Structure 1
């Protein structure tokens, strides 16, 4: 459901709908107090072509409200919406949130109450009962049901505004919170930093035609997460069962090799049920009834990784010693095993890569701290840890690009994971990275390039470093701003198309 015909749309902005101040499901006289006409754009600073609509074709009432483009957007990375959040407070600081609600103008209060909320008897709703009781006893608001609903609204719609050491700052955008979710990343990206101070921004990341549904993603690590896990997270946190095209299609996070012809086959789910994974090979007609050994293979690898993950979490709790139970060498072997037995883009392969990054980071930090005490700064082993971590990050980024494109893994993934900069001359960026960069992976690219330029001399960089960075440069400018990228650009870009004097390899050419 990517677009809605204009004659099937009822635009909420054109109605004179009125909203009851208290819970709309409560029909007592006090809650039936009618307020002025609802204005969902009360805090919108700039609307460049988007409106809230009802879609009568939606399968559930909770999904019938959506946002639709009122014009086409062919230019990327331009704002489609800029608005001031209704509330801004530390994550979990419900007292500050309610105080801001009470101090807000009446039209803002109405727009807050218009936001979607999970049912109060849902698991999320039940988890908010105790905080609501405390706030009721503090007499913040003298209506327990209203407090409970407001907390559910915040838990369902809050966006991250800033990161800090105490858990971050959350905000509640009124208009932007109406945007639907899509597991393919959507066609719009939420940015907590806008060109207008204090505002949040939604920027276009894919071409949008007039009438298209404007969607964002509610999740992180989209392309490292299989369909059942994504759906469960969304159900637990947002109380809906995702029916987007990606969730209803093949699960490219679970490519497995056909035991007969060795070609990779994507996972599908029986009768749209995430509990019954099936692999059916179109080449050799492997029947879905023969899938038991594939499921066993996945479970065996998952059990191995789960045990390793527990050990890593235990050993990296306080970064005081180098992990010994699970070493970078151990994880490199597991990454290779997952790639060969499952696929280079399988979610378990990417989980192993994440663990490898964590262990390399911890090992480099502890080794550096010990060396500094003795008056040193770095050594070959520390550089090797940093390099291995960056390589694992880059490999994971490339794998996510493959998943988004429905690809079981390009040649790049094998070389990037195990090679030490061995290259074939003459390749181009298009040969190395045939798929489009992802907004979802821009932040990991930024982290990897920061680590690389801070801790590694250029001759330790993977040869494809500058290529990856320049591919993501436009996305990084949008996410972090041009000024924030200047230091990294100053260090990386001079090496663009630079060649190794002994062998002539072009650094940004090919692996």
Structure 2
């Protein structure tokens, strides 16, 4: 049965009904089928915008209309017995409001005997569970002399409550994403198809959703939203903790959590081994978190330790393990920065390749895949076309695509070009949805246009002429004939010494393997 919800703040909605569901309570469901990505299903103005803290929320709640107050009180909140930390905050706020009189008197007059510490406690629980990040600020500068009104939009750390928006359920594999960089909240579809009767979901975890293992997601949601996530992804295998069986060395196993104790287990169906690699996970993660990543951004030394962690995690755990993905995501911007400092195209190619590997691994996680190389000899996730692109990875692809555009002195890695082409609709939807930083909107729009020209349907597939007159390792120009890597055919060296140094330092090793797998190799020793 469809339930009624106050829609006085709704500017536009399509395909939304409210039903009572066993796990989600009163929640929004699709009333028809959707197949088109980035379709807007809801545009709604906020019931309350909070610029400060809980005190600001209570003051604005007291000043709201009675119908708005009732809509807020009707929002879901966890049992107050589970919100013990907010009980102390409620006591302090109640005492503070008593001393301020006006807000206290207003609430006491409206709610009489209902207004007490428990009432404040309930409001805090509602706010904590339902508040959306709100990044729109409307600053009107009224000039009475010339009667001009100037409106500017700035970013701030605000939150807002939305009546219809509060009925969207959480999921760690959502079909919606929202933006509030315009005055109204907008929800858009990011995963299709959506069938009639499906629950509309978004994620309380705003980013990196597909590199966070189940136990960490649940801990975060328990701490910030006071609920234990029972979404389908959290109840299923944890593909962020896929490991290779250490007995047969061929089978990969997702992590399964015991339904009673929630302890992690790994079971190999081939050899029957029950593996518990938690100590190996802890060891690699400790090495990763204790690295001084800033030092790599300001020096020219290759990030060998970070590269070693990424390689070891990929081999001893799996290419899609969250530690592998995290190490690759740390590595990509460091390589990008060092490529700018050293003006080295080979490093830029390596940075793009690394970023694409991390995105491809996240796609495997989202698809419930043990790794796209499980049936081949590949071990680098360089064939990401098997899965759907992820809206969650749009920001990472912005950076990778921007770096890819700058590579013109050498052939671009084919798998990176293919990935950017797949992500063009995602980047378009990301920009259209207002998720890019407002201060960079023009820059993002120009970048998107450049990407469409270079990699879109109308782009030529013919490689441009390359100026192979400088060494990929040392960057020095040379009028003599250059040596070319015979495996990938993509980089050039002024002598054998530079080639060996570039390989041993890791500068070309990571780029060469995936490029070689997608390039027809014709060994050539020298070229002008």
Bucket of the pairwise TM-score, normalised by the shorter protein: 0.7 to 0.9
* CA drift at 1:477: 2.1
Aligned to 1:258: 245
Where do residues 439-458 of structure 1 align in structure 2 (5 Å cutoff)? 439-450=391-402, 453=405
Where do residues 373-392 of structure 1 align in structure 2 (5 Å cutoff)? 379-380=342-343, 387-392=349-354
Aligned-partner SS, 2:319: coil
- Residues 114 and 131 (structure 1 numbering): CA distance in 2 closer, same or farther, change over 3 Å? same
Task: Please state if 1:303 is matched with 2:293.
Answer: no
Q: Between Structure 1 and Structure 2, whose CA radius of gyration is higher? A: 2
- Residues 179 and 260 (structure 1 numbering): CA distance in 2 closer, same or farther, change over 3 Å? same
Deviations 1:259-314 (A, max 9, x none): 2322111111123543x21111112222x2xx24x233222222222322xx337x
Aligned to 1:189: 177
Task: Please state if 1:174 is matched with 2:163.
Answer: yes
2-structure distance, mates of 1:478, 1:127:
43
- Residues 79 and 350 (structure 1 numbering): CA distance in 2 closer, same or farther, change over 3 Å? same
1-structure distance, mates of 2:199, 2:396:
28
> Which of the numbers 318, 334, 352 marks the counterpart of 2:309?
334
1-structure distance, mates of 2:309, 2:195:
44
Aligned-partner SS, 1:266: strand
Where do residues 395-434 of structure 1 align in structure 2 (5 Å cutoff)? 395-411=357-373, 432-434=384-386
State the TM-score, normalizing by the size of structure 1.
0.73
* Aligned partners of 1:466 and 1:495 also within 8 Å: no
Gaps of at least 5 residues in structure 1 are: 1-9, 14-38, 369-377, 420-430
* Higher mean displacement: 206-215 or 404-413: 404-413
> Which of the numbers 142, 146, 162 marks the counterpart of 2:135?
162
- Residues 267 and 138 (structure 1 numbering): CA distance in 2 closer, same or farther, change over 3 Å? same
2-structure distance, mates of 1:127, 1:468:
50
- Residues 119 and 270 (structure 1 numbering): CA distance in 2 closer, same or farther, change over 3 Å? closer
Aligned-partner SS, 2:386: coil
- Residues 126 and 346 (structure 1 numbering): CA distance in 2 closer, same or farther, change over 3 Å? farther
Deviations 1:237-270 (A, max 9, x none): 2222112221111111111111232211111112
Gaps of at least 5 residues in structure 2 are: 105-114, 138-153, 434-440, 456-460, 467-487, 491-514, 520-528
Aligned to 1:17: none
Aligned to 2:3: 12
- Residues 134 and 384 (structure 1 numbering): CA distance in 2 closer, same or farther, change over 3 Å? farther
Aligned to 2:524: none
Aligned to 1:26: none
> Which of the numbers 463, 475, 492 marks the counterpart of 1:499?
463
1-structure distance, mates of 2:228, 2:288:
28
Query: Once superposed, what is the RMSD of the aligned Cα atoms?
Result: 3.6
Aligned-partner SS, 1:74: coil
* CA drift at 1:384: 6.1
* Aligned partners of 1:301 and 1:348 also within 8 Å: yes
Aligned-partner SS, 2:42: strand
- Residues 140 and 119 (structure 1 numbering): CA distance in 2 closer, same or farther, change over 3 Å? farther
* Aligned partners of 1:42 and 1:108 also within 8 Å: no
- Residues 41 and 478 (structure 1 numbering): CA distance in 2 closer, same or farther, change over 3 Å? same
- Residues 167 and 352 (structure 1 numbering): CA distance in 2 closer, same or farther, change over 3 Å? farther
Task: Please state if 1:249 is matched with 2:236.
Answer: yes
Aligned to 2:471: none
* CA drift at 1:442: 1.6
- Residues 161 and 461 (structure 1 numbering): CA distance in 2 closer, same or farther, change over 3 Å? farther
* CA drift at 1:124: 4.9
* Higher mean displacement: 175-184 or 145-154: 145-154
* Aligned partners of 2:175 and 2:202 also within 8 Å: yes
Aligned pairs, number: 427
- Residues 120 and 388 (structure 1 numbering): CA distance in 2 closer, same or farther, change over 3 Å? farther
* Aligned partners of 1:394 and 1:416 also within 8 Å: no
- Residues 70 and 166 (structure 1 numbering): CA distance in 2 closer, same or farther, change over 3 Å? closer
State the TM-score, normalizing by the size of structure 2.
0.71
* Aligned partners of 2:335 and 2:347 also within 8 Å: yes
- Residues 70 and 231 (structure 1 numbering): CA distance in 2 closer, same or farther, change over 3 Å? same
* CA drift at 1:335: 0.5
2-structure distance, mates of 1:414, 1:457:
30
* Aligned partners of 1:350 and 1:396 also within 8 Å: yes
* CA drift at 1:405: 1.4
* Aligned partners of 2:402 and 2:447 also within 8 Å: yes
* CA drift at 1:98: 3.6
Aligned-partner SS, 2:428: helix
Task: Please state if 1:47 is matched with 2:30.
Answer: no
